[in-house]
Amino acid sequence: MALRAAASPAPYNGAMSSHPSPLIITADFVLPMAAPGIVKGAIAWEHNRIMAMGPADDVLPRYSGAIVRHYPHHVILPALVNTHTHLELSYLTNRIAPPGDFGQWAAACMRAAPPPEQLISIVSKSAQWGATMCQTSGVLAVGDVSRHYTVTRPILERAGLQGVGFAEVMAIGGRRSSLREQLQRLCAPADADLINIKSGVSPHAPYTVEGPALRDTVEMARARHMPICMHVAELAEESEFLANISGMLAGPWRPDHALLDAAIPRGAHGPIQWAKQFGLLDAGVPVVLAHVNYATDADLDLLAAAPDVSVAYCPRTRSYFGHDDHSRHRWRDMLARGINVAIGTDSVASNPDLSVLRELRHIMKLFPESDPQLLLKMATVNGARALGLPSFAGTLQIGGPAEMAVFALPERPFRSVASACRALIRRAPPPDTVYLTRPVTPSAH
């Protein structure tokens, strides 16, 4: 895969450059996502901004002095969005076997954690490797959850990514008193020099953040206009845990097992109702609910009434944990109710790679009747909306940034945009070229 600066006709070498002439690329299909697909399309841009887009026969004559790159048997998409991932865990690639249950998986991840003296070095290399895996799959925007966010956010910025770096927070039982310190650290101006990676907060999950701690975290995020991400309804066992602080999620695999106490508020109606009770669905900032594998009709009604809330569906991780053996994800019901659903990969601790297109391919295997153009929206414009990114993100628009990925199609004719999209998803290749508008600088780690 070639990584290129959008304004430069030369292969990208890690520094931005510009060219006085416009640059045009053509392909069999251009998919703006904010408008209908274009057959035999072309995009012209200069100084990183798209100047024209449409049929190649219309665009090319308008820029006779332009540098032109032709991509026959290809499709051009906006750069993809990975709405939910944990790039700092990239050191776990191929190291965690499929679990018997979530507790066994979590224990295996903890056993594989780096020793303290190597932690920052390994986290830094993992975040860099994760950023590279994203870019080589056509992703330039991420919602990344990290415990070591002061290390990972600058690495993602230097890699040329945009998105949100969510700082993970845990506070439950005997550890509830640590919340104030965690939130104070989050409010420090450590990210003042970052431009493209926004600061967010991630109260981890209903079994690691008790209700009052969630409410305090939401209030802080609202006051500071910080996006929020939380794992909610990922596991069927969350309801039992919230109701009785019991079951697998309260098991001895937890390092804080002995600290779970009677002061943890109970919630009898499941994690979505619990999230509503403690303010998460009314935060007034972009909120990403990661997974939502288990949801009732009443839960979906609550989500549909929360316009700032999106769901990050992580298809292959869901299958890895066996949830598809018990029920089907309700992403189609969510979309039908107006809930914004986007695509995430989770981490390589539960996924073989970070390819968003391969997530779509997995969906198509589970739901063969899926509309391929709708799936691609979930991997682009829906993800950008979920993360609260600028309106141009996840789309190709005149006046918007020239950030896009070019993917090869099978060398045969396609009768429609839809048939080309279906072939692309079924093949799920890495991109031949990714164009980006932000500078990439070497990592300091």
For 282-309, what is each residue's pLDDT tens digit? 999 999 999 999 999 999 999 999 999 9
3-state helix, strand, coil in the chain (%, to 5): 35, 25, 40
Residue 18 has pLDDT above 60, yes or no: no
Stretch 76-101: mean pLDDT, rounded?
Answer: 92
The topology under which CATH files domain 2-79+396-436 is Urease, subunit C; domain 1 (2.30.40)
Band of the pLDDT at 6, cuts 50, 70, 90? low
From CA 58, how far away is CA 55, in angstroms rounded? 5
Six token digits for residue 118: 């190597």
Q: Which pLDDT score, from 0 to 100, does residue 20 have?
A: 47
Q: What is the pLDDT of residues 357-392, one digit of tens each?
A: 999 999 999 999 999 999 999 999 999 999 999 999
Token pair recorded at residue 39 = 């057959």
Could you tell me which of 88, 96, 93, 84 has the C-alpha nearest to residue 321?
A: 96
pLDDT > 70? residue 13: no
Indicate the pLDDT class of residue 133, thresholds 50, 70 and 90.
very high
pLDDT at position 59 over 90: yes
12-16, 148-152, 173-177, 252-256, range with the lowest pLDDT: 12-16
DSSP β-bridge partners for residue 78: 404
Question: What mean pLDDT, rounded, does the chain reach?
Answer: 92
Q: How confident is the model at residue 15 (pLDDT cuts 50, 70, 90)?
A: very low
CA–CA separation, 284 and 219 (whole Å): 10
Q: Is the model more confident about 2 or about 294?
A: 294
Q: How many CB atoms lie within 10 A of CB 368?
A: 8
Query: Lowest-confidence range among 54-68, 91-105, 117-131, 170-184?
Result: 91-105
Percent of all residues in the chain with a pLDDT value above 90, rounded to a whole number: 85
- The class level of CATH for 80-386 reads alpha beta
Q: Render the burial of 210-232: b for 16+ CB within 10 Å, e for the rest.
A: bbbbbbbbbebbeeeebbbbbbb
Joined together, the tokens standing for residue 301 give 């009604």
Rounded CA separation 163/390 (Å): 10
pLDDT of residue 442: 60
Q: What is the DSSP letter of 325?
A: G
Boundaries of every domain in the chain: 2-79+396-436, 80-386
- Indicate the SS3 state at residue 239: helix
Instruction: Sort residue 173 into left (φ over 0), alpha (ψ -120 to 50) or beta.
Output: left
Give the residue-averaged pLDDT of 395-406: 95
- Dihedral angle, C-alpha 4, 8, 9, 15, nearest 10 °: -60
Q: Provide the pLDDT confidence category of residue 21 given band limits of 50, 70 and 90.
A: low
Pairing of β 162-169 and β 197-203: parallel
Cβ 372 vs Cβ 364: under 8 Å:
yes
What's the CA gap between 191 and 343, in Å, rounded?
26
pTM, rounded to two decimals: 0.94
The two structure tokens encoding residue 339: 């809930």
Q: Is the pLDDT of residue 69 over 60?
A: yes
- Which among 420, 386, 390, 416 is positioned nearest to 403, based on CA atoms? 390
H-assigned helices in 367-431: 372-378, 381-386, 417-427
Mean pLDDT of 67-75: 96
Q: Which residues pair with 228 in a beta bridge?
A: 201, 287
pLDDT above 60 for 11: no
